[in-house]
Structure 1
Amino acid sequence: MAKTIASRCIFSLAALLLASTTAVSPALAQDAGASADEAAKEDATSASTIVVTANRRSEVISEVPIAISAITAEDFERRNALSLDDLQAAVPGLRLVDIGPGSQRIQLRGVSQYLGQATAGNYIDEFSVTNLGPQGVAEVQLLDLERVEVLRGPQPTLYGESSMGGTIRYITAKPDLDEFMGSVTGEVSTIKSGEQGYRAEGFVNVPIAPGVAALRISAQHREVGGWIDSPTADDYNDRQITTVRGKLLVEPSPQFSVNATILYNESKQDSVSFSLDGLNTAQTTLTPSSQDYLLGYLEASYDFGAVELLSVTGYIDQSSFARRDIAPFFNTLFGFPAFTQVFSDADGNFERFSQELRLTSDSSGSFRYLIGGIYAEGKGTGLALSTYRPGPIPAFGIFNDSVASRAQSESIAVYGNLELDLLDWLTVEAGGRYFREKLDQRAVTTLFDAAGPGANSVTTRGREATFDTFNPRIAITANFDGSIIYASAAKGFRSGGFNLHPAAPNPTFDPESLWTYEAGTKLTFLGGAAYIEAALYYQDYTGIQSTNVTPLGGTAVFNSGAADGFGFDLALVLKPSDAFQFSASLGHNDVTFTTNAVDKFAGDPLDLVPPYNISVAADWTPRISDSFDLLVHADLNYVDEAAIVLRQIGALGFDTIAPNDSRVLVNSRIGADFGAFEAYVFATNLFNELKEVNPDFGAFVEPIFTQPRTIGIGVKANF
């Protein structure tokens, strides 16, 4: 069924793409050389004229030779989206699983390993919030943003390490230097078979010195109701999220600008949303999770005319906690009920400082360049404490173990990108980044009372090494009457690291790399009323950091195996009138292992990579009268089934294939906009599809399902 749906969508969109290559409007040739700002002014509602900064300069999205999804603030409201999780099906090749606060697993174009460092870069404006290791990326709420840019495919030159599958950029709204304004939103909702929730948010923009300085403050608090019942409590997976952000913009002259941002986010959940069927869990003990972070960054730029100098200084301090009862994992591992409970508490902290300098040339000439460098220091500390309580067969007594870890990273990167217009319609581009990281990791493992009271065992391990790499990107772009065809090759990179578990057979694992070869097109036609973006790519993934489970239940990472395969992205926007818009996206990925690895057989897919994800959406916004507009939105989202595969686990000798479900979710929103006031109702997961999005595996002793149908009502006031 999934293949049939996907095949029909592919055929329809491919046919439309082929037809459109001969239907490009000649009138658009006049717009091809327009600047980004001019294009935005001409038609801010056209999908092809969204201005992005993915290339670290302002450009119209239809002229950038990178596969990009740009989701605007208007799109957030239409979909009633509050986090990236709510938008994932609308971005080709994006998959995100929200396991709990600070435990989002993000993958792009199938570049996925279930454990290990991130394979997608995460940025808030110009500042990277990508973590040192697998502890989890900083949660970002879709609060008072201009847009989210999702760059698909390796981004080695401008974003560097971990941006293998791509890069996600959250672009916050800038203060307005001249106008006092703001908005307030209140919302209540109810979850089927669960609790009520609410959201309160708003922003205020205050010019301090009109035309020179302004302050913008945004805040949000969300109470997400629980819906999972345990034998001891009902609706026990409720969640609380609080975000506050302040931005100060100072422009003493047209050439000089300073932007200072402070952001605090806190997310807490009483118990992770594990369940047996989407509504009930066998767990009897709370498994709380939390994450909070404080970050600040200062952006200062000066425009010298021929070149602009930008300085970005940033710091983040992030803490997280998670508790799991992983007794079922060990009982499966040993083949008998060895334990009644195994509590695993993980408490971690991550700090990162970075300083970046960048020179960007003026965009008007036939030769353009960008050069920069960045220095970063990162420090991570953690304490993992496990408590083992024996089962009915007393093979073990009560004992504890703890692992106190520390990681320090010092890295430098130098990068550059050159663009040359060989002809009016032909541009070549070449860039690269040299990255070097000095990594130092230490761990102290203590086994308490393992051979009786007071019989402790202490093991200390530590390693340090330097990893370096050069990662290039080249591209060629042809511009025909305002539409482009491009081809590119880029190398992505994920740094190496250490195995500090006492049972790990290899103390060090090496970096891994990914070459992606891509051909794509961006077509604007029907006078700007239609826009198509399509890309076909081939990925060659080597030195893959594979996971092996040790006999004591720990994990070790090996460089093992290789994978390759093709994929494609399609995105379509049709806007025949100001009152109607239709959009669709499709992502397909067929990357599989080509050799046997420590944990995979040749032919196995990468972990939790769905072969297809498809989304369609429609918006109708007719003007009913001079006093208000009607706002009607509906979207349908399909995500294919996927699985975690672990095979040949060392001496343990068993295979695990943990699949999850395909799913079709339908969402809708209807509102009335009176200008200064808006009221709306919404429904997510309209048909109450309860489907697995994360299988039971290892420490995840029960699956995670989609949130049941949620219905709500909200009001928004602008001033």
Structure 2
Amino acid sequence: MLSTNGMFTRASSTALAAVLAFATPGLALAQDADALEANSVDEEGGDVIVVTALRRSTNVQETPLAITAVSAAQLSQMGINDSNALAKASPGLIVREGGFSGTRLTIRNIRAAGEATVGLYFDETPVQGSSGTASDAGGTTPDIRLFDVERVEVLRGPQGTLYGSSSMAGAVRLILNKPQLNDTELVVTGQVSGVEDGGVGFETQAMINLPIIADMLAVRIVGFQRERPGYVDNIRLGRSNINSQSSEGGRIIVRFRPASNLTIDGFASLQNSDGFLNDYFLAAGPYINTFESQQPVSDKNTIYSGTLTWDADFATLTVVGAHAKRNFNYSFDTSAFFRAFGANFPVGSPTYNAFMSQAPSVANSPQLTKTDTLEARISGGSEQGLQWTAGYFYSDRKGDFASNIARSNPGDGSVLPVAGANLLGQRLIEDDLKQQAGFAEGTFAITPELSVTAGARYFHYERRVKGAVSVPNAFVGFIAGAPTDQSSSENGWLYKANISYQATPDLLLYATASSGQRPGGVNQNVSLPAVLQTYSSDQLWNYEFGVKTSLFDDLLVLNADVFQIDWSNMQTSGTLPNTNFGFIANAGRARARGMEVETTITPVAGLQFQISSSYIDAKLREDQSNQSLLAPGLKGDDIPSVPKFTIQGAAQYGWELSGATTASLRADVYHQSSTWTEFRHTNVFQRFLPSNTLVSLRASVAGSDGGWSIGVFVNNLLNSDTVVSKASANIFGGLNNVRAISNVPRTIGLDVTKRF
């Protein structure tokens, strides 16, 4: 018998499953370790596929939700070792690397500047980006390592009636392995890789699980170190592979179970990275950097949390409190700006000399963000009656940011200490966002096959932003003036309704209508007109119909959904003519219509094919009403920077080499269609992003008992240098200076894993 979850299936043979290391997404992975032990195998020897997206353990094929779940073993097979690579794991999920400040997660093409449209959960803790000087927290999502995770769940569509963090367009859950109270475990992995025409990198990771008191107390410790090889050369400074990056970190989870129905988890995570930006001027050619300054970036993240789970007779209470701190700093070269605008004046004139004297230099942005969150929820009910969840959520995010113009060393391009005469301009910002919400959802089984769900969420947020120019610099727009102090607040309701029908054991039909929202805020932009200083939240309604089915004794699994999203009061990024700073404004309505398909075919034991795809047409439904925008979008314009079409495909074959050794071969293909970076093609900042296709291969051998494995891999087999990000702005030195980022070149590597 084969068990499936809509993305992959797995043969019932235990040996073959170990061979493939191809655990079905969410396979036998309940949120609690004891649930894993209890639900790992059914009576016929097949695997039980469990997710906890509904705040209770459910078979993913019987979960009336557009969800993709990916196991740890599958993540490894796909070469996904951090959250930035998750796009190839789920249809409808796009991960775009930003020029300076992290990545942006997008689900179903609901993409815009401002707060995140997708909620990212690191276990039970929501992870928020840094709003920075552009109020764009959604574009600064940190990269999170995916070692020693149970699984990743991608939930498409609004999730505000079940999750504390509103998750306007969907949620991504990174669910960690928890301490085992009675088993000692040790896992060590190592990897070495080389990049085409670049450097050599390596990484090591380790996990140890130690029971302290049997059945009561255990600790799980994870550590990693990575040296990511560079592949961009700065020909002006004579430096090769300048975009290398070093990162290290770890986490500790302590589990205390003083009673059989009470579990307390303490969690601490540290992740630090230091390196250099990997962008270049498009005109110079792929991976060729001509900047006058080095562009260092550092990102230091710490998260502390505590989770209490009390299983009473009638319900389960879960309380999660967390404190997160992110110290983030990046610099990008501004030399071209001063040289280009200085050239507009006569050589030797005072203005010419004033511009030229400020090159080489960088725009430096240190950002310190501290976030406190609390979520308390209670769930109960019976499988054949009413199942319910109700909760409260609180979040307080405080940010202290600076926007600096600082000198760099004319010799080697290094950034000089940002102080004294080296500080050419400075703008300071304090940004405080407080959110509260109450949410509830209930599912009632009318019959064993037919269920209805209703949910609601009440939200309230307050935002206060203070700003001041401490070191004026009129050339970049830092104009001296009185400090500013502005606030905005809002409250409202969100709703959800769902009906599901289990027509047969292998066929589930469902329909959902749900709404989502994200906070508005305050633009901290020098000399911005009063009408643009604040902006409101935007909202959407998502309507979808889905089917989950398996045929021919699970040899074919097909999951599909169609949806329409009506997006109102959408937040839009804008730039005023001849200025260097962007802002966010509310402007009009949009609609996204699309479909998502996940298919798995298992023609013979050991051979599996998987294809998942999405087609999403997202357009403005009316002319953008805010005429302060530069080239505002018009009705029918596509939402920028998101592809209409994506497809992910994989083929894997595993076989037994000997009684103690197995082998597997795997190929992955990921493709996304082309897009544009602005609504209007007449916008002077408009840039075209071509379609992108990546191919990867992997071959591995392993012990049949799962105790060891050795693999070789090739990522970006065709060595595609496709540009995946383009940005234009005055501060880059004019519209001809387009900053670009390309695919990581072909990478060949070897990895080894040993379990003790």
Match of 2:3? none
Match of 1:105? 104
1:148 and 2:141 correspond: no
Match of 2:581? 554
Match of 2:743? 706
Whole-Å separation in 2 of the counterparts to 1:528 and 1:576: 10
Match of 2:286? 278
Whole-Å separation in 2 of the counterparts to 1:414 and 1:443: 32
Q: Given that residues 262 and 311 in structure 2 are in contact (C-alpha distance below 8 angstroms), is that contact kept between their aligned partners in structure 1?
A: yes
Match of 1:226? 230
Match of 2:197? 193
Secondary structure of 2:86 counterpart = helix
TM-score (norm 2): 0.84
Whole-Å separation in 2 of the counterparts to 1:384 and 1:214: 45
Match of 1:68? 67
The 5 A counterparts of 1:127-142 are 127-131=125-129, 133=131, 134-135=136-137, 136-142=140-146
Match of 1:511? 537
Secondary structure of 1:75 counterpart = helix
1:210 and 2:210 correspond: no
Whole-Å separation in 1 of the counterparts to 2:430 and 2:129: 14
Whole-Å separation in 2 of the counterparts to 1:642 and 1:406: 35
Match of 1:689? 720
Match of 1:625 among 651, 658, 672: 658
Q: 1:112 offset after TM fit, Å?
A: 0.5
Match of 1:181 among 156, 181, 185: 185
Whole-Å separation in 2 of the counterparts to 1:559 and 1:510: 7
Match of 1:306? 314
Match of 1:679? 710
Q: 1:307 offset after TM fit, Å?
A: 0.6
Whole-Å separation in 2 of the counterparts to 1:45 and 1:494: 45
Whole-Å separation in 2 of the counterparts to 1:464 and 1:43: 60
With over 3 angstroms needed to count, the CA separation of the structure-2 counterparts of 1:680 and 1:101, relative to structure 1, is farther
Whole-Å separation in 2 of the counterparts to 1:601 and 1:629: 58
Identity over aligned residues, as a percent?
24
Match of 1:664 among 693, 696, 700: 693
Secondary structure of 1:591 counterpart = strand
Match of 2:609 among 582, 599, 609: 582
With over 3 angstroms needed to count, the CA separation of the structure-2 counterparts of 1:155 and 1:45, relative to structure 1, is farther
Match of 1:644? 677
The 5 A counterparts of 1:430-441 are 430-441=454-465
Q: 1:320 offset after TM fit, Å?
A: 0.4
Match of 1:595? 622
Q: 1:633 offset after TM fit, Å?
A: 1.2
Secondary structure of 2:175 counterpart = strand
Q: Given that residues 120 and 164 in structure 1 are in contact (C-alpha distance below 8 angstroms), is that contact kept between their aligned partners in structure 2?
A: yes
Length, aligned pairs only? 671
Whole-Å separation in 1 of the counterparts to 2:215 and 2:275: 43
The 5 A counterparts of 1:269-668 are 269-274=275-280, 276=282, 277-326=285-334, 328=336, 341=360, 343-387=362-406, 400-448=424-472, 450=474, 457-482=480-505, 483-505=507-529, 506-550=532-576, 551-597=578-624, 598=629, 599-645=632-678, 647=680, 655-668=684-697
In structure 1, stretches of 5+ residues that fail to align are: 1-12, 14-33, 390-397
Q: 1:641 offset after TM fit, Å?
A: 1.1
Match of 2:14? none
Match of 1:23? none
Q: 1:331 offset after TM fit, Å?
A: 8.0
Q: 1:514 offset after TM fit, Å?
A: 1.1
Whole-Å separation in 1 of the counterparts to 2:114 and 2:342: 25
Match of 2:252 among 246, 249, 263: 246
Q: Given that residues 521 and 534 in structure 2 are in contact (C-alpha distance below 8 angstroms), is that contact kept between their aligned partners in structure 1?
A: yes
Q: Given that residues 84 and 143 in structure 2 are in contact (C-alpha distance below 8 angstroms), is that contact kept between their aligned partners in structure 1?
A: no
Q: 1:494 offset after TM fit, Å?
A: 1.2
Whole-Å separation in 1 of the counterparts to 2:717 and 2:390: 49
With over 3 angstroms needed to count, the CA separation of the structure-2 counterparts of 1:449 and 1:507, relative to structure 1, is closer
Secondary structure of 1:457 counterpart = coil
Q: 1:50 offset after TM fit, Å?
A: 2.6
Matched to 2:518, the amino acid is: R
Q: 1:131 offset after TM fit, Å?
A: 3.1
Matched to 1:51, the amino acid is: V
Matched to 1:286, the amino acid is: Q
Q: Given that residues 560 and 597 in structure 2 are in contact (C-alpha distance below 8 angstroms), is that contact kept between their aligned partners in structure 1?
A: yes
With over 3 angstroms needed to count, the CA separation of the structure-2 counterparts of 1:366 and 1:335, relative to structure 1, is farther
Whole-Å separation in 2 of the counterparts to 1:43 and 1:263: 39
Match of 1:258 among 264, 283, 288: 264
Whole-Å separation in 1 of the counterparts to 2:539 and 2:362: 36
CA distances 1:483-507 after superposition (whole Å, capped 9, x unpaired): 2111111111111101221321222
Secondary structure of 1:656 counterpart = coil
With over 3 angstroms needed to count, the CA separation of the structure-2 counterparts of 1:46 and 1:84, relative to structure 1, is farther
Match of 2:124 among 116, 123, 126: 126
TM-score (norm 1): 0.88
With over 3 angstroms needed to count, the CA separation of the structure-2 counterparts of 1:645 and 1:160, relative to structure 1, is farther
With over 3 angstroms needed to count, the CA separation of the structure-2 counterparts of 1:380 and 1:296, relative to structure 1, is same
In structure 2, stretches of 5+ residues that fail to align are: 1-5, 7-29, 346-354, 409-421, 733-737
Q: 1:100 offset after TM fit, Å?
A: 6.5
Whole-Å separation in 1 of the counterparts to 2:683 and 2:672: 29
Q: 1:90 offset after TM fit, Å?
A: 2.9
CA distances 1:33-79 after superposition (whole Å, capped 9, x unpaired): x99977642299979x4311111111111111111111110111111
Q: 1:716 offset after TM fit, Å?
A: 1.3
Q: Given that residues 672 and 693 in structure 2 are in contact (C-alpha distance below 8 angstroms), is that contact kept between their aligned partners in structure 1?
A: yes
Matched to 1:500, the amino acid is: Q
Secondary structure of 1:347 counterpart = strand
Q: Given that residues 102 and 139 in structure 1 are in contact (C-alpha distance below 8 angstroms), is that contact kept between their aligned partners in structure 2?
A: no
Bigger shift: 262-271 or 678-687? 262-271
Secondary structure of 2:258 counterpart = coil
Task: Give the CA RMSD over aligned residues.
Answer: 2.7
Q: Given that residues 446 and 458 in structure 1 are in contact (C-alpha distance below 8 angstroms), is that contact kept between their aligned partners in structure 2?
A: no
Q: 1:556 offset after TM fit, Å?
A: 2.3
Q: 1:459 offset after TM fit, Å?
A: 3.4
Whole-Å separation in 2 of the counterparts to 1:429 and 1:309: 21
Whole-Å separation in 1 of the counterparts to 2:43 and 2:661: 22
Q: 1:162 offset after TM fit, Å?
A: 5.3
Q: 1:401 offset after TM fit, Å?
A: 2.7
Secondary structure of 1:252 counterpart = strand
Whole-Å separation in 2 of the counterparts to 1:581 and 1:208: 42
Bigger shift: 474-483 or 680-689? 474-483
Q: Given that residues 278 and 706 in structure 1 are in contact (C-alpha distance below 8 angstroms), is that contact kept between their aligned partners in structure 2?
A: no
